[in-house]
Structure 1
Amino acid sequence: MREVADLRLTPATLIADIASARARFGEWSAVLVETTVLRRKAAAKVGDPADWLFTDEALQQATTQSVANHRARRLAGAVVHDATCSIGTELAALRHSAAALVGSDLDPVRLAMARHNVADVDLCRADALRPITGSAVVLLDPARRSRGRRRFDPRDYTPGLDALLDVYRGRDIAVKCAPGIDFDGLAQLGFAGEIEVTSTAGGVREACLWSSGLAAPGVTRRASMLDAGEEITDAEPDDCGVAPAGRWIVDPDGAVVRAGLVRHYAARHGLWQLDPDIAYLSGEQLPTGVRGFEVLEELAYSERRLRQALSRRDTGAVEILVRGVDVDPDVLRHRLRLRGSQMVSVVITRLGVGAASRTTAFICRPSR
Structure 2
Amino acid sequence: MDSNELRTLLTPSGLELLDAVTAQGETDPVRQVTALRAAGHSPELVSVVLGQASLRRRARAKLGEFADRMLFTPSGLEQASRLRVAARHAGRYRAAGITRIAELGCGIGADTLAFAGAGADVLAVDADEVTAAIAGYNLAPFPSVTVEHARAEDTALDEVDGVYLDPARRTAGHSGTRRLTDPDDYAPSLSFAFDVGRRLPTGVKLGPGFDRALIPDDAEAQWVSVDGQLVEMGLWFGTLAREGVKRSALLLTADGAHELAAEHDAADPETRPLGGYLYEPDGAVIRARQIGTLAERIGAGTIDASIAYLSSDAAVSTPFAQGFRVLDTLPLDQRTIRQELARRRVGTLEIKKRGVDIDPAAFRTGLKLKGPEALSLILTRVSGVRTAIIAQRLGTGGRTA
SS at match of 1:242: coil
Match of 2:22 in 1: 5
The answer to whether the 8 A contact 1:75-1:97 is kept is no
TM normalised by structure 2 equals 0.82
Moved more, 61-70 or 154-163: 154-163
Distance (whole Å) between structure 2 residues aligned to residue 98 and residue 154 of structure 1:
32
Map 1:181-200 onto structure 2 (within 5 A).
181-184=210-213, 186-187=214-215, 192-200=218-226
Q: Over residues 15-65 of structure 1, what are the superposed CA-to-partner deviations in whole Å (9 max), with x where a residue is unaligned?
A: 332233234222533332222222222111222222212222222221111
TM-score, length of structure 1 as denominator length? 0.88
In structure 2, distance between residues paired with 1:215 and 1:264: 21
Match of 1:314 in 2: 345
Note the aligned Cα RMSD (angstroms): 2.4
1:210 aligns to what SS in structure 2?
strand
Secondary structure, in 3 states, of the residue corresponding to 1:226?
strand
Deviation at 1:167, TM superposition (A): 4.8
Query: What is the identity percentage for the equivalent residue pairs of Structure 1 and Structure 2?
Result: 35
What one-letter code is carried by the residue in structure 1 that aligns with 2:225? S
Q: Secondary structure at the match of 1:150?
A: coil
Superposition pairs of residues 115-194 of structure 1, within 5 angstroms? 115-119=136-140, 120=142, 121-125=144-148, 126-134=150-158, 135-146=160-171, 147-184=176-213, 186-187=214-215, 192-194=218-220
Q: For residues 280-338 of structure 1, give each alpha carbon's deviation from its aligned partner in whole angstroms, at most 9, with x where no partner exists.
A: 01221222455411011123332233233323323233222111111222222211223
Whole-angstrom CA distance in 1 between matches of 2:45 and 2:387: 60
The alignment status of 1:304 with 2:335, answered yes or no, reads: yes
**Structure 1 residue 212, shift from structure 2 partner:** 4.8
For residues 34 and 308 of structure 1, the distance between their equivalents in structure 2, rounded to whole angstroms, comes to: 48
Report the counterpart of residue 248 of structure 2 in structure 1: 222
Structure 2 runs not aligned, ≥5 long? 1-16, 396-401
CA contact (8 A) 2:196 2:202 kept: no
Q: CA deviation at 1:168?
A: 4.5
Q: Which moved more, 1:237-246 or 1:118-127?
A: 237-246
Aligned with 2:296 (options 247, 250, 267): 267
SS of corresponding position for 1:85: coil
Are positions 1:112 and 2:133 aligned together? yes
Amino acid at match of 2:52: T
CA distance in 1, matches of 2:348, 2:145: 55
The answer to whether the aligner puts 1:234 opposite 2:259 as a matched pair is: no
Question: Does structure 1 conserve the Cα–Cα contact (< 8 Å) formed by 2:307 and 2:355?
Answer: yes
Residues 347 and 374, structure 2, Cα contact 8 Å, conserved in 1 = yes
Correspondence 1:256 to 2:285: yes
The corresponding residue for 1:17 is 32
**What's 2:14 paired with?**
none
Structure 1 counterpart of 2:341, one-letter code: L
CA shift, 1:128, in A, is: 0.8
In structure 1, the residue matched to 2:98 is 78
The yes-or-no answer on 1:66 pairing with 2:84 is: yes
Q: Is the 8 A contact 1:344 1:363 kept in 2?
A: yes
Q: CA deviation at 1:182?
A: 1.2
Shift of 1:8: 5.2
Letter in 1 for 2:151: D
Q: Summarize the Cα distance change of 1:54–1:314 in structure 2 as closer, same or farther, 3 Å threshold.
A: closer
Q: Distance in 2 between matches of 1:261 and 1:331?
A: 33
Q: Provide the C-alpha distance between the structure 1 equivalents of 2:317 and 2:267, rounded to a whole number of angstroms.
A: 16
CA 102–82 in structure 1, closer or farther in 2 if over 3 Å, else same? same
Q: Is the 2:271–2:303 Cα contact (8 Å) retained in structure 1?
A: yes
**2:50 matched to 1:42?**
no
SS at match of 1:31: helix
Residues 97/3 of structure 1: CA separation in 2 closer, same or farther (3 Å cut) = closer
